[in-house]
Amino acid sequence: MKRPIAFALVLILSFIAPAMAQDIVVGHYGAMTGGTATFGISTDEGIRLALDKINADGGVLGKQVKLVTEDTQGKPEEAVTAVQKLINQDKVVAVLGEVASSNSLAAAPVCQRSRVPMLSPASTNPKVTQVGNYIFRSCFIDPFQGAAMANFAMNDLKAKRFAVLYDVKQAYSNGLREFFIETVKKAGGEIVADESYSTDDIDFKAQLTKIRNTNPDAVYVPGYYTEVGLICRQAKELGLNAPLMGGDGWDSEQTFKIGGDAVNGNYFTNHYSPEEDRPAVKQFVDAYKAKYNGKTPDAMAILGYDAMNLMAAAITKAGNTKGKDIRDALADTKDFPGASGTITIDKERNAQKPIVVLKIENGATKFMTSVQP
C-alpha cells in the first residue's frame, strides 16, 4: 500500500508546485509582536484587504499575488533577518515595510544590495529613502509632519513657549523633534525645555517635573504609543496641564488604553481620519470593518492598504517582475488615487501627500484640519 500512496503524493505535488510557482510573491516585514505590535498588525490587515480585491479582480499580470509576512518584533536586528529571509528564501519580487523608521533604516540596505524594491508604508524619517534608489515610501516625511504641528500650535492654539520630550533611541522621534524645533524658532517661538527618554522606559516623572517648572504653553512628545500613554498619565498626575502634542506614532488603540482619560485634550498629526468626508475613505472604512469584525481602521491600516495597491500598480506598469522595472515604475508614480490621499512620488522617492491634525476628546479622535504639501 505504501508505494501507491507515495506515487499519489508525488502526482498531487507535481500539480500543486507549478501552480504555486505562478504566484507573484510580495513580502511584508513588520512588528507583529512586541511594544509596537499594533503598527505591524494594522499594516498587515490593510495589505491583506487590498490583496483580496486585487486577486478577486484577476491578480497582477494575470497571476495571483501571495503575501509573506515576517515578524520584526519591533527590533532593527530582527528587521534585517526578516528581509534577508523574504529575499533569499521566499524569493519575493518586492518588499513592503517597516513602519518604524529605525527598523526600515536597518533593513533597507539589504533590499538595496539585492536590487529588490522596498516600499515603506509609514516610515517618516527622511534618511530612510536616502539609503538607495530601490527604497521608496508612500507616506509624508518628518520635515512636513513636524512643521505642520508647530504651525498648528502657533497659529491655531496661539502657543509660543514649547517643551519637547522625545525618544532618543528612535530615528523617528529624533527627526520630528529636530523639524518641530526648527519651525518653532523660525516662526519666533521659544523652546523652554528639551528633555529625552529611551524606548521601554516607564517612569518619566523627572523629565515631566522639569518641564512643568518651565510653564510651557504646550509640550511636543514625538514618540510611540506605549510610552506616550504613560507620559500622558504621569503628566496629569504631576499637574502638568499644558496640551501634549505628537505625531502619527500616537495612532493606536493602546494610546487610549494606557493613557485613559489623561489623553483627552491632546493633539497629534496623522495620515487620515476615519471621519473624513471623502468617498475613498468611506469605502475603505466600510470594507475594513466588514472584514475585521467592525474594527475601526487606524492610520497604519490605510497606509498598508495604499502601499499594497501602489505596489500592485507598479508591477502592472512594469509589465514583469524584474526589480529594476518595478523600481522604475514606482519612481514614475504621479497622482495615484490612494484611500489616504493622492500620492505622487518625488525625485527623492518620497510621497507628496496631505496631513491631518486630530484632537483627542472623550477617548476618541476629532478631525481638526488638513494640511496640503
Cell numbers found for residue 109: 540596505
pTM comes to 0.82
Kindly state the average pLDDT of the residues 5-23: 50
pLDDT tens across 282-319, in order? 999 999 999 999 999 999 999 999 999 999 999 999 99
Amino acid 230 reads: L
Cβ neighbors of 170 (< 8 A, separation 6 or more) are 100, 101, 102, 199, 223, 224
Which of 99, 140, 92, 149 is closest to 120 using CA atoms?
99
CA dist 99 and 122 (Å) reads: 5
Cα 335 from chain centre: 20
Average pLDDT over residues 323-351: 96
Joined grid coordinates for residue 262: 489623561
**Cα–Cα distance measured from residue 204 to residue 95, given in angstroms and rounded to the nearest whole number:** 37
Dist. CA 245–CA 164, nearest whole Å: 9
Give mean pLDDT, residues 90-99: 97
| Listed residue (253, 256, 272) closest to 363, CA to CA | 256
Specify the range with the lowest mean pLDDT, choosing from 161-170, 221-230, 234-243, 273-282. 273-282
Q: For residue 218, how many other CB atoms are within 10 A of its CB?
A: 23
* CA-to-CA dists, residue 174 to 126, 153, 157, 182, angstroms: 11, 19, 24, 12
HSE-up (13 A, CA, CB side) for residue 177: 21
165 contact partners, CB below 8 Å, separation of at least 6: 195, 196, 197, 204, 207, 208, 211, 219, 220, 221, 223, 231
Query: Is pLDDT above 50 for 255?
Result: yes
Structure confidence at residue 89 as a pLDDT band (50, 70, 90): very high
pLDDT at 373: 78
